[in-house]
Amino acid sequence: MRSDRLGETLLPKRLALPVFASDALSSVAYAPDEILLTLGLAGGALAVTRSWPVALAVVAVMVVVVASYRQNVHAYPSGGGDYEVASTNLGPKAGLTVASALLVDYVLTVAVSISSGVQNAAAAFPWLRGHEVLGALALVAALTGMNLRGVRESGKAFAIPTYLFMLSVVGMALVGLVRRATGSLPPAESAALTLAPEPGMEQLGTLAMAFLLLRAFSSGCAALTGVEAISNGVPAFRKPKSANAASTLLLMGGIAVTMLLSMIALATWTGVKVADDPGTQLLRDGVPVGDSYVQHTVMAQVAGSVFDGFPAGVVIVSVVTGLILVLAANTAFNGFPVLGSILARDGFLPRQLHTRGDRLAFSNGIILLAASAALLIVIYDAQVTKLIQLYIVGVFVSFTLSQIGMVRHWNRHLAVEKDVPEQRRMVRRRAINGVGALMSGVVLVVVVLTKFTHGAGFAMAAMAALFVLMGAISKHYQHVSQELAVPEGDTKHQLLPSRVHAIVLVSTIHRPTLRALAYASATRPSRLEAITVEVDHEATRGLQAEWDRRGIPVPLKALDSPYREITRPVVDYVKSIRSGNPRDLVVVYIPQYVLGHWWEQALHNQSALRLRSRLLFTPGVMVSSVPWQLASSEGAEERMDGPVVGDVRRGGA
């Protein structure tokens, strides 16, 4: 796609919702599990009586965060999101902290969503059990391919499953509500079981109980992941960008809150029980169910109860839930590459991440995200319970710093605003962001305290490492820029060399050699000579005899190489003929075959490659490759001009 077709990739709200909100919406499929699993550590009674207050606390945080981010998309519509807000108002270090947190969180989003999707799909397709890792990796590869086609194409492909998920969950909630009202709602498959507390959790004191509730709350806050994605993706919306992004954010928040409360209500009414160690914690008639017991997710158990007698309903819910969890990763596939592009533009990440691929997507960022997520899936065996412990920290770091930055943003504008009605609007907006900052900060502290030893510490370590790495990359680019800058009035680097000593490397007399000699002669150097490395004495004598017989008007010098090396004698000779004059130049011409197939590269040109690499580090020396196109290279140019994913020709230096 041509660069001037970028406007064709912009999203209407109906496509932006599934593209950017699928992460937040899909959390309904695993946030209830995390709440009930944590509360279940102390036994089934606590899960029944305390799941509602925990869910309401999560909803309260979501309402405040959504309201706060609606201010962000209007104030900073350029797509930098939390990174731009923090950098502008709190300084570059705060911005880099937010960026490192978001990048880690995006990778975890893909790993958690894909793993959760595979586990939910296994409820409908038992043959998937035991092959979750391979299934997850295949899904990551499929998502990568779709996103490399472009944002709009992926939005069209993912819109139908996202809307089907919303309809199925809301429909299940309505059916469940009717059956509850009529007294026909059957219990869940685990309702008859007894959930025993873990050893040591039988009698909890007040402090321990409060800590457990806070941990359940922090796990439930997984429902807030993805809220920030819309603020990072404002440039992808159609005009008016900010208004459309704010509307989509409000719609996403309303749907997510409705679905989360519906799932908690249905799980409570049907008596769903889930345990961290179901084989020993779940009891049937006082006896542990054992390792053979298959514990389905909360969503699967609720669907089985609500659609009792209607198996197709259970299959539909399981399939669309698995799909939406997979597609939730698509939010990260849109957020990570855009943020990576902005960071690359600012010099904190490799510049190749700033360029768009052939389909106007940030191809290199997409591939980097996919590789990182795949590595996590393999390391953690596609287990959501393990991966979820690393989750949440990054998103609340960005929430907190972003909202503090917005408070400073309004303070700065209030200091110069003279219009009284506008001042009142700014004060109201500052109050919303202030509440958001306070609430996000409290949740961040709770998450760190309750999850640090359960995996959050690893996520924080990854953020710190990424922060240091991006700082080092920025320093490298700054040093290179300073070293390459041309001072005002500096003309010495524009002067032509006073003398040029040209050298042509010769291994045998063939067409590439004669072409290199002709090109070198055409540059009219001060001195021209040919050199060869004597590895085989008889072969070198034969080469010199053939050289003389042909009457080639360029002297040929043989360099001795008792250890049969090629590179070192040439480099040593080039260094020896360099003069002390900085304006003198040595140009080494290397004949080189041009091959048409990748497998041919292993058979040719290795000596030339090593020699070029060594000579490039020698001051006052230039290396010129003289190509000779072999027959196999015919048509290779057309093949290279076709679609290339992450084309390095477009990357920055």
- The Cα 402–Cα 380 span in angstroms is 30
Which pLDDT band, with edges at 50, 70 and 90, does 178 fall under? Answer: very high
Provide mean pLDDT across the span 512-534: 92
131 and 210 share one domain: yes
Q: Write out the DSSP string of 267-287.
A: HHHHT----SSHHHHEEETTE
Q: Report yes or no on 309 lying in a domain.
A: yes
531 and 465 share one domain: no
Burial of residue 418 (number of CB atoms within 10 Å: 0-12, 13-18, 19+): exposed
Which pLDDT band, with edges at 50, 70 and 90, does 153 fall under? Answer: low
Write down the pLDDT at residue 34: 81
Alpha-carbon Rg for the chain, nearest whole angstrom, is 32
Provide mean pLDDT across the span 208-231: 78
Q: What is the rounded (10 degree) CA torsion for 220, 224, 226, 232?
A: -150
Q: Using the 3D structure, point to which of 477, 500, 519 is the last residue of a domain.
A: 477
Q: Report yes or no on 208 lying in a domain.
A: yes
Read off the amino acid at residue 437.
Answer: A
Handedness of CA 53, 59, 61, 63 (dihedral sign): negative
Write down the pLDDT at residue 325: 75
Write down the pLDDT at residue 493: 55
Q: Using the 3D structure, point to which of 448, 477, 506 is the last residue of a domain.
A: 477
473 and 496 share one domain: no
Tokens of 573: 């000779």
Q: Report yes or no on 2 lying in a domain.
A: no
Q: Using the 3D structure, point to which of 443, 477, 511 is the last residue of a domain.
A: 477
- CA triple 208-212-215, angle to 5 deg: 140
Write down the pLDDT at residue 150: 66
Write down the pLDDT at residue 176: 94
Confidence check: pLDDT of 490 > 80: no
- The Cα 159–Cα 379 span in angstroms is 31
Confidence (pTM): 0.70
Where do the H-state alpha helices sit in 125-240? 132-148, 151-182, 206-220, 229-232
Burial of residue 252 (number of CB atoms within 10 Å: 0-12, 13-18, 19+): buried
Q: How many domains does the chain have?
A: 2
Determine contact, residues 263/306, Cβ cutoff 8 Å.
Answer: no
229 and 354 share one domain: yes
Write down the pLDDT at residue 650: 33
Determine contact, residues 145/10, Cβ cutoff 8 Å.
Answer: no
208 and 278 share one domain: yes
Confidence check: pLDDT of 422 > 60: yes
pLDDT by residue (tens digit) across 322-354? 788 777 777 788 788 888 888 998 999 998 888
The torsion angles phi and psi of 306, rounded to 5 degrees, stand at -60, -40
For residue 203, give its domain range.
22-477
96 and 49 share one domain: yes
Determine contact, residues 463/397, Cβ cutoff 8 Å.
Answer: yes
Write down the pLDDT at residue 647: 35
Confidence check: pLDDT of 545 > 60: yes
Read off the amino acid at residue 396.
Answer: F
Which CATH number fits the domain that encloses residue 587? 3.40.50.620
277 and 321 share one domain: yes
- The Cα 81–Cα 340 span in angstroms is 12
Write down the pLDDT at residue 644: 38
Q: Report yes or no on 213 lying in a domain.
A: yes
Handedness of CA 524, 527, 532, 538 (dihedral sign): positive
360 and 452 share one domain: yes
The torsion angles phi and psi of 589, rounded to 5 degrees, stand at -95, 125
Write down the pLDDT at residue 646: 36
Mutual angle of helices 420-451 and 456-484, in 10-degree steps? 120
Going through 264-400 in order, the beta strands assigned E by DSSP cover: 282-284, 287-288
Burial of residue 245 (number of CB atoms within 10 Å: 0-12, 13-18, 19+): buried
534 and 403 share one domain: no
- The Cα 191–Cα 181 span in angstroms is 19
| 167-176, 554-563, 625-634, range with the lowest pLDDT | 625-634
435 and 507 share one domain: no
Whether the ω angle into residue 240 lies within 30 degrees of 0, i.e. cis, is yes
Q: Report yes or no on 10 lying in a domain.
A: no
Determine contact, residues 629/592, Cβ cutoff 8 Å.
Answer: no
Determine contact, residues 61/371, Cβ cutoff 8 Å.
Answer: no
558 and 465 share one domain: no
Write down the pLDDT at residue 369: 94
Q: How far apart are the first and last CA of the chain?
A: 23
| Structure-model confidence comparison of residues 590 and 318, the more confident one | 590
Provide mean pLDDT across the span 514-525: 92
Tokens of 638: 């057309």
| 227-236, 312-321, 338-347, 562-571, range with the lowest pLDDT | 227-236
Which pLDDT band, with edges at 50, 70 and 90, does 37 fall under? Answer: confident
Which pLDDT band, with edges at 50, 70 and 90, does 635 fall under? Answer: low
Average pLDDT, the chain: 82
The set of residues, in sequence order, having a beta carbon less than 8 Å from that of 418 and lying 6+ positions away, is none
Provide mean pLDDT across the span 512-531: 92
Q: Report yes or no on 15 lying in a domain.
A: no
Confidence check: pLDDT of 358 > 70: no
Q: Report yes or no on 346 lying in a domain.
A: yes
Q: Report yes or no on 11 lying in a domain.
A: no
Going through 485-598 in order, the beta strands assigned E by DSSP cover: 499-505, 527-534, 556-560, 584-594
Which CATH number fits the domain that encloses residue 71? 1.20.1740.10
Find, among 280, 212, 633, 620, the residue nearest to 446 by Cα.
212
Confidence check: pLDDT of 222 > 80: no
- The Cα 409–Cα 75 span in angstroms is 9
Which pLDDT band, with edges at 50, 70 and 90, does 375 fall under? Answer: very high
Percent of the chain exceeding pLDDT 90 equals 21
The set of residues, in sequence order, having a beta carbon less than 8 Å from that of 509 and lying 6+ positions away, is 543, 546, 547, 550, 552
- The Cα 436–Cα 176 span in angstroms is 34
457 and 533 share one domain: no
